[in-house]
Structure 1
Amino acid sequence: MAGAVIRWALALLLAAGLPAGAQPLVRLDHIPTAVRSLDAAAADFRALGFAIKPGRPHAKGLNNAHVKFANGAGLELITATQARDALSGRYVDLLREGEGPAYLTLHAADAARAAAALKAAGIPHRLDADGLELTDPRLPWIFFAGDNRSPTDRPEHFAHANGAFATREVWVATDDPTPLAQLLAALGASSREEARGEPLKTRALVFELAAGGRVVIVPARHQLVPGHPLIGVVMATRASKAAPAERAHGLWLELRSER
């Protein structure tokens, strides 16, 4: 416990020392979420008022469906029937432990500029024809995505009955926030410490990304599945009333009204 407190103190010092007015180089993208039954998860998210875009079978044993927003963000509901490669094996392992978010995905409009910022901060990464890849072994659950919009996206895929239209926050629970804080700081995110209320009532480090997105870091005691750092997503809704956070297939999901 003492070690966790020290690591949090170091992360707070790092956050306090960030330059004001930095321009974030990344925004929140889609959040791949491991579910045991794709049909059951899709039905449950429809019941919560989301339109579901069907996915497609993948050769490596993965199947998916999507809760999408117009910029490509949202949730990817994904399941694995068997471990056929490293990625499907990771989903099989995750699902053995419990459902929930598998990755935090970030989108950099200028990958070369983001890579230069990571290089200047000494954060391991790779930039090649396949895009920007984070190779920091401390953060295997973060990756960078290109343009996640698809030619098959249709207006009805964004017409959510609950009024949701954007991802505003992704919540991370860890007792060692420094690697993530260093990454987000290097990418231009400003930060602050806040007291957060329901459903967790905890202190948090909040990092502001581009396009109104935030990464909220809280202590590891809030993990829904031990060892799984990603715990929640907050979405903006045009509905007149916010929907309280509730657990949905291993994540806290909250709708906040923005009108």
Structure 2
Amino acid sequence: MLRQIDHLVVLVPDLEAAIQEYRGAGFTVVPGGTHPTGTHNALIGFGDGAYLELLAFYEDNPAHRWHRFRAAGGGIIDLCVLVEGIEAECQRLERAGFTYQLAAGSRTRPDGFTIAWKNATPPDELTGQLPFLIEDVTPRQERVPHGQQAEHPNGARGVAEVVIAVRDLAPVVSAWRALLEAPGEAAEDPILGTPVHRFALGPHRVSLAAGPHPLIEERLGRAGPGPLLTRLWAWTTADVTLGSARFALLQLER
């Protein structure tokens, strides 16, 4: 069962510099730790359980599925969905025509505690267009910032929507329909003014966007299809651009 957006991967060239930059923009950033695949991270958690993962390579690893995005300037490069019963989900997706590769994942926190999970990834060419999946082995609260660690000076409260830029809506809409077993809805993005197809995913929304717009064209030309921007619920309204990553704070009613 697909529950909600778990996190968004934000590739940065230098982790410590990114931590300071995001803190300067009003986010509470929690050091995450190191992965055995040559990457390390820091996390920005929200009250809805989702988070942003600031990720950088501490050693070169061309075999890593995200390595190629370094040359494209990084930014928001991937989307992860929290799953209950990941093996069953992989079997369901295989019956629907998708091959998700199941693997074990881990991260060692700065305090020495090792967090473990299972993840499943789509084919490399679909990275950023379709999500990868995660299911915790160690308790989720050990992996995800919560409580005071998920409160932010800029008022950010949670993920409202992830907008994914695609070249052609039809095949990606079909893929998401199979993924979620839901039709979604066709609409026009009120800010971008371009056609989108929206899907609900727990408390969050995923919108697939296509059409002539400078932001969409920039993303497709620079890094190919993938996350264009993330809209966050907050107590204020603001546009925030940090490196190649774009965010929009949307005001909640008090």
Query: What TM-score, normalized to structure 1?
Result: 0.76
Per-residue CA deviations over 1:85-112 (Å, capped at 9, x if unaligned) read: 622x733x31222121121111123435
**Structure 2 stretches of 5 or more lacking a match?**
105-116, 211-215
Aligned residues: 229
Instruction: Check conservation: 1:25, 1:109, Cα contact below 8 A.
Output: yes
Is the counterpart of residue 111 in structure 1 residue 86 in structure 2?
yes
Corresponding position of 1:235: 232
Is the counterpart of residue 139 in structure 1 residue 126 in structure 2?
yes
**Structure 1 stretches of 5 or more lacking a match?**
1-23
Greater strand fraction, Structure 1 or Structure 2: 2
SS in 1 for 2:224: coil
Is the counterpart of residue 149 in structure 1 residue 149 in structure 2?
no
Per-residue CA deviations over 1:144-202 (Å, capped at 9, x if unaligned) read: 0124834274522111112222212111111133443233212234411222233x332
Alignment of 1:36-51 (within 5 A): 36-51=13-28
Corresponding position of 2:57: 80
> Could you tell which deviates more after superposition, 135-144 or 35-44?
135-144
- 1:232 counterpart letter in structure 2: L
Corresponding position of 1:221: 217
Alignment of 1:1-259 (within 5 A): 25-70=2-47, 72-84=49-61, 86-87=63-64, 90-91=66-67, 93-111=68-86, 114-115=89-90, 117-126=92-101, 131=118, 133-136=120-123, 138-141=125-128, 142-147=131-136, 149-151=140-142, 153=145, 155-186=147-178, 187-198=180-191, 200-210=192-202, 212-219=203-210, 220-221=216-217, 223=219, 225-237=222-234, 239=235, 241-243=236-238, 245-259=239-253
Per-residue CA deviations over 1:109-161 (Å, capped at 9, x if unaligned) read: 34355345424422223568874624445423331012483427452211111
SS in 2 for 1:157: helix
> Could you tell which deviates more after superposition, 150-159 or 102-111?
150-159
Distance 1:84 1:116 in 2: 30
SS in 2 for 1:67: strand
- 1:101 counterpart letter in structure 2: I
Query: What TM-score, normalized to structure 2?
Result: 0.77
